Structure 1
């Protein structure tokens, strides 16, 4: 039952706007309130498709704005447009009413309607609620909602019920690549062109943001993840493929990063067009993948490692069966059947509850187990997505089991990536010695592709990010002191990291890589360009 205070519905049980998403009756038992008596209906009609579109972000969006109210062109950055935005307590109240009615309609047998059918039912319930409320506005002599207000409110309620709430428009906007949150009202958006700018608040308080994250983590029907004071970190794949990482209770304020991988269907040629690497480097990498060289893509956070892996995978012949192994799906090769007809994709699953005698939580499924199972799937390539720790053992095993594997890791330089992988291997296994770890890395990794991320402050207070391939390093066993030898096939374009201003240039080509010419590598072009770029040898680096 709903009481009214002005134009804001108030939850009769709590006297509040019912803003806690974890209390949604859709995900917990609820008692439906009595239906309100018939009232005059407004002429407004909202079709299901009207609920989907999100208003695009204005170019000069500031932290004070809501996503429903673009700033006029005359208002500069920092203009306060918050008073013109949605009433989020009103959104929360309608969401609560809609979820109660949806729970009552579904009853105890939620399985009789699939997810899409439940969403369509939710749409019709939201429509009914807004029509009734619009009629009450007119009957009470208050100013009626405009069609824009009604559509914005309907979209927000639907997003709160089925989507990401106030985050949904940001995730839906094709210009936004990363959403960086360090508290409910401290939001930064990284656009696809590399620009960084302030974003709108995503909750009314830090507590509300944490409650929403808990709700978001627990509602997944496929791969729910715990998030609590006992487990204060969250890594989650969102609908649509975005990746969410969050931390709370162990940070001053809740910290969240949502990464949207905009370039799923991408090739090395596309990256050449974007200035990420030269045509010659693309020719070399494409030939290396076809020749089944095992590659590690390294770089800092946000440098575009996953995008580079997708582009490399586009060079894998279509007849090859691929297996991907990830903590959360990010590569999404299995969603491109025209590019990769045969892909078996595995996603790890964290356990929950107390640990058993073997130290594992109930329901846990690791990348190691997925890789073990994959040996019965007749795979041609096994790709272990991101190596942050013990995943390195799965990466090494995949590379030992068959040539042509691809992985990523975080590192500042290509050689630092090798040292990090050795360290990860030693930390991952109690019986892994430094000699074994070094030998395993040196014998199984052929190439390291290093990505560089450059952030340039702009006069208006924002920033631009540029990414490019800064090194391509060939690795071979050897060098008694280090356990491996390296050769810069492509080297930074300047004499030092601080001077480079673009993609790597030809360096030294080991003799064995001349055979890549048969796979399409422009060998003559390499030697011609290398003559104009004398190589810069690193200490202990091999030269041919």
Structure 2
């Protein structure tokens, strides 16, 4: 209620000259936030910084937030400003999302059609959708300093409590609910964030077949390969669905087997309690960055040999990108057959050069011939994924069987699946070793599924 001398205050903000409604929109679109909103959120958050610790229950946290918002509202009333009940709820939701979610971006996290979000400073946001479109999103802070403070809060939520500061201007951290955050600051004009949502965490091979990532023969082939304890390396460019495919492959592993996952940043989530029905015995390990004094670093290539002392049945490396590939190949050969990793390559024919490059990064004095021998002895299946730029569809286009070197220093290879007319993996009749075919058949695979004709001339 207003009276003489009272002023009504709007927390809705103004964007492009038009008021933006407050509150959570039905389709998950966050409301616009003006300077008054940022001030309210900052003031309320500051009052609660000591009570909203990591151990506070979220129901209790919401009660504390609502109470503090009411106290802030009463203070505004004394200054002659009236805050509506709807606006109070809006501020309370933003404070809650800032502490426990992705702040103003939280509504996008709740949408199933949002894939990635990038933030260029406090005022510019771009949202990428599953249909391949990209649209502008809301500002996420009033100033870049406020944005940095929020990122530092997010960084502390990660498993290893990573630092984001002048001394550590690069941040990669896995957050809850399948969200990966990458940030750079102080090396650019503004802080820049890239947020990736992993929508398909509990995913299966049949689901990927329905989505068009796999074909029916390929689904049956990969299922049998996993059960036959064949090593698999999933390759492709960035954002082609490599991690999703590894999750689906892992869900074919018998639940009683002991799995150890090694990652630079947690993304596989095989140890998630919600997946306990699929994997009963999982050890998830994450590399650790050095602190501001340069101490405490634990590299992924250090974790690979160390994990063998924990008696794994299989080892899964989320992404081999430094020196961990060489020890991982040793694991595949002699430590834990049926292991997996992912590898970034631009084209499938680059996989051999990429393996040599990463083998040299291990700093073990390995030459190209040594790495090729290790690669061949591991006998992995190379599964190559690609993304259609026009439709944003991801699909497997090629599968190679790798074997020990024979007539040259490079490993031998058979094209089991090659791109068909639509680019998707199509069986190449007869291009498979007898040993692999026997292993697959022993797991119930029907060899007739591979009887097809595809010309591989020009492929590698």
Pairwise same-fold verdict (TM > 0.5): yes
Q: Give the 3-state SS of the residue equivalent to 2:43 in structure 1.
A: helix
1:352/1:56 CA distance change after superposition, 3 Å: farther
1:103-502 matched pairs, under 5 angstroms? 103=50, 115-117=55-57, 119-134=58-73, 144-147=83-86, 149-217=87-155, 219-220=156-157, 222-335=159-272, 336-355=275-294, 361=295, 363-400=296-333, 401-456=335-390, 464-494=391-421, 501-502=422-423
- The Cα offsets for residues 434-481 of structure 1, whole Å up to 9 and x where unpaired, read as 22112112221421100011111xxxxxxx411110111111122554
Give the CA RMSD over aligned residues. 2.8
2:425 to 500, 504, 512: 504
Instruction: Kindly state the Cα deviation for residue 534 of structure 1 after the two structures are TM-superposed.
Output: 3.0
Contact 2:158/2:173 (CA < 8 Å) preserved in 1? no
Distance 1:187 1:367 in 2: 32
Q: Give the 3-state SS of the residue equivalent to 2:355 in structure 1.
A: helix
Q: Give the 3-state SS of the residue equivalent to 1:455 in structure 2.
A: coil
Distance 1:54 1:522 in 2: 52
Q: Give the 3-state SS of the residue equivalent to 2:413 in structure 1.
A: strand
Moved more, 263-272 or 123-132: 123-132
Distance 1:208 1:448 in 2: 45
Contact 2:124/2:139 (CA < 8 Å) preserved in 1? yes
Instruction: Kindly state the Cα deviation for residue 179 of structure 1 after the two structures are TM-superposed.
Output: 1.2
Q: What stretches of structure 1 move > 6 A for 4+ residues in a row? A: 136-141
1:378/1:258 CA distance change after superposition, 3 Å: same
Contact 2:261/2:317 (CA < 8 Å) preserved in 1? yes
Distance 2:60 2:281 in 1: 36
2:436 to 510, 513, 531: 513
Contact 1:367/1:394 (CA < 8 Å) preserved in 2? no
Distance 1:524 1:509 in 2: 12
Contact 1:237/1:329 (CA < 8 Å) preserved in 2? yes
Contact 1:384/1:398 (CA < 8 Å) preserved in 2? no
Distance 1:483 1:169 in 2: 50
Distance 2:162 2:34 in 1: 31
Give 1 or 2 for the bigger CA radius of gyration: 1
Moved more, 402-411 or 436-445: 436-445
Aligned to 1:524: 448
Distance 1:415 1:292 in 2: 25
Instruction: Kindly state the Cα deviation for residue 213 of structure 1 after the two structures are TM-superposed.
Output: 2.2
Instruction: Kindly state the Cα deviation for residue 296 of structure 1 after the two structures are TM-superposed.
Output: 0.5
Distance 1:370 1:251 in 2: 32
- The Cα offsets for residues 10-52 of structure 1, whole Å up to 9 and x where unpaired, read as xxxxxxxxxxxxxxxxxxxxxxxxxxxxxxxxxxxxxxxxxxx
Contact 2:41/2:95 (CA < 8 Å) preserved in 1? yes
1:394/1:229 CA distance change after superposition, 3 Å: farther
Q: Give the 3-state SS of the residue equivalent to 2:116 in structure 1.
A: strand
- The Cα offsets for residues 196-225 of structure 1, whole Å up to 9 and x where unpaired, read as 3332222334444334323432x3374111
How does the TM-score come out when normalised to structure 1?
0.74
1:510/1:93 CA distance change after superposition, 3 Å: same
Q: Give the 3-state SS of the residue equivalent to 1:333 in structure 2.
A: coil
- The Cα offsets for residues 369-412 of structure 1, whole Å up to 9 and x where unpaired, read as 43334333322111111111122134223213121011001112
Instruction: Kindly state the Cα deviation for residue 517 of structure 1 after the two structures are TM-superposed.
Output: 1.9
Contact 1:214/1:227 (CA < 8 Å) preserved in 2? yes
Instruction: Kindly state the Cα deviation for residue 173 of structure 1 after the two structures are TM-superposed.
Output: 2.7
Contact 1:383/1:406 (CA < 8 Å) preserved in 2? yes
Instruction: Kindly state the Cα deviation for residue 315 of structure 1 after the two structures are TM-superposed.
Output: 1.1
Instruction: Kindly state the Cα deviation for residue 56 of structure 1 after the two structures are TM-superposed.
Output: 5.2
- The Cα offsets for residues 127-153 of structure 1, whole Å up to 9 and x where unpaired, read as 123334545667777555143x33222
Contact 2:126/2:134 (CA < 8 Å) preserved in 1? yes
Distance 1:159 1:312 in 2: 34
How does the TM-score come out when normalised to structure 2?
0.86
Contact 1:287/1:519 (CA < 8 Å) preserved in 2? yes
- The Cα offsets for residues 49-94 of structure 1, whole Å up to 9 and x where unpaired, read as xxxx954546xx7xxxxx12xxxxxxxxxxxxxxxx3335434434
Q: Give the 3-state SS of the residue equivalent to 1:334 in structure 2.
A: coil
